[in-house]
Structures are given as C-alpha cells and as structure tokens.
Amino acid sequence: MYADRLPLIYGTAWKKEDTKDLVIKAVKAGFRGIDTACQPKHYNEAGVGEALVFLEKEGIKREDLFLQTKFTLLEGQDPLNVPYDKKAELNVQVLQSFEVSKTNLQTNYVDSLILHSPPTDFNDLEIVWRAMEEIAIRGEAKELGISNIYDIDILECLYEMAEIKPTVVQNRFHKENSFDKEIRSFCTTNNIIYQGFWTLTANVDILQSIELFELATKYDKNVIQVFFAYLNQIGIVPLTGTSDIEHMKSDLDSFHIILEESELSRLNSLLE
C-alpha cells in the first residue's frame, strides 16, 4: 500500500505499553495506515509489531496495511537506549536501525521509511539518504521520505541530490511555520505526499472558528471531522493518535464530507 491511498494515518508516539492494544483498536476501527519510529524514547515500535501479528491472525493481512517507520539520528535518541551502535559510521547506523525496525515490526519490509529529521550538515544528509536508498533498492522500503524539514532550500537540495526521490514529507502543521505553504507547494509540484502532525493540538484557534462551526452544523458533523475533510481536500494527510475508539471511528468518518469550492476558499482564509 502507498501513502497516496490513505486519507488518515494512526500515530503511535507516546503510546508506550498501550501501543499494541491501541493499534489493534485503530485497525479494527478502520485505520489502514500506521506510523511509528525506531526511537524508544518516544515510540514502542515492538508494540506495533505485536499488534500486526495479532491482526494477521484476525484476518487483516500485513499487505493490506501501510506501515511507516523512521530512522532517528543520535541526537534524537535517549542516550541510554539507542537502537544502534552509537560509534558506528552514520550509514551503518541507518542500516542497523532498520534491521531493528524489521525485528520490532516482525516484517521484512515497510511501506515508508522516513528520516525523522535532517542533520545540520548536508553531507550527513546525503550519507543518510544513500543508506535509505540502499534499503529501498533491496525492496525493503517501498517509499522514502523525511520529517521535520522546514527549510525549503534543504528540501529542494535533497530532491535534486536523491536518486530515489522522497515521496513523503511529514511536518508539524500549524501557524508558527506559516502552515508550511512553501513546503506544501513544492510537495504538490513534485507529487510528494504531505503528512501533517499536531494538526489538532496546534490549531485550537481554527477548531474554535465560526467557519468550522457553521460547516459542522451544515454537514451534521463535528468540527474535527470538517477540518480533517478540509485538509484531505487540499492535499494533506493528517496523523491522529487518539486513544478513544469512538474518536477513531469519528475521525475516519470525516471523509464522507465533500466541501464545496466556496467552502474550501473560506477555510483557506484561516491559513492566511
């Protein structure tokens, strides 16, 4: 499965010991995209793998799910719990991390492998990307991407340098980074899927807007559903990490809403 087939992805950050049960609930509720990372500091990647094994027994096949994980640089790891050799060369760390991910997830491939955030040195970025490309060439990652990239120049340079082009960008979507307008425009031009996280918690003002409230009333939905529908129609795949089964179902029900052009324009004004 590929990222462009998903309207919504279930995020597993900070789920800890509840990860397995919540992923099972999310998939049974209808989610088909799962996001995790080889970063024990914030993710229980093995819990996702345990959920996948359970779901397989329940008849939900691995190939019917979109599974996305990440390589996290050393500075993003807990120094007491690094999932690869801290002293190894950077490219080796990428390969070691991915082997841990495969073991944790109990799979021989992922649908999307993401660089969690770019290193400050572009040469290091190239080293990491080449190692990720090696994984993709082996057929063990169907797509490659990058997260937490807010400098359009770096993204453009990465795209130019890459032999296997990034097809996913995953960023915080909120006002403080001008809703990533330049980045999103670049993604649209180059057929890159833009995934947004913190889409709810960082946008309380939008969720409380009269514009969303009126549309929620019109469509007999809640404001979150209207916001997710809007994001989907402007080319954004949101991540959500709700632990509530009813919220999971409600979020997935968002995409029956088809907003009119005038309504999209009205909501676009909230991103100015």
227: how many CB neighbours lie within 10 A of its CB?
Answer: 24
Residue 207 has pLDDT above 60, yes or no: yes
How far apart CA 197 and CA 126 sit, in angstroms, is 25
Quote the Cα angle for 81-99-60, to 5°.
Answer: 105
pTM of the complete model? 0.96
Q: Contact, 54 vs 39, CB < 8 A? A: no
Give the pLDDT confidence score for residue 243 in this predicted structure: 97
pLDDT at 251 over 80: yes
Residue positions counted in the chain: 272
pLDDT digits (tens, 9 = 90+) for 32-70: 999 999 999 999 999 999 999 999 999 999 999 999 999
Q: Of 116, 126, 120, which Cα lies nearest the Cα of 146?
A: 116
Token pair in block for residue 16 = 């800890």
pLDDT tens track for 149-183: 999 999 999 999 999 999 999 999 999 899 999 99
- The per-residue pLDDT for 3 is 54
The one-letter amino acid code at 135 reads: I
pLDDT tens digits, 230-248? 999 999 999 999 999 999 9
Query: Strand, helix or coil at 54?
Result: helix
Residue 194 is encoded by which pair of tokens? 């833009």
Cα Rg for the chain, rounded, in angstroms? 18
User: Across residues 4-17, what is the average pLDDT?
Assistant: 92
Can you give the pLDDT at residue 30?
Answer: 97
Domains identified in the chain and CATH numbers:
3-202 (3.20.20.100)
- pLDDT category of residue 16 using cuts at 50, 70 and 90: very high
Specify the pLDDT at position 6.
87
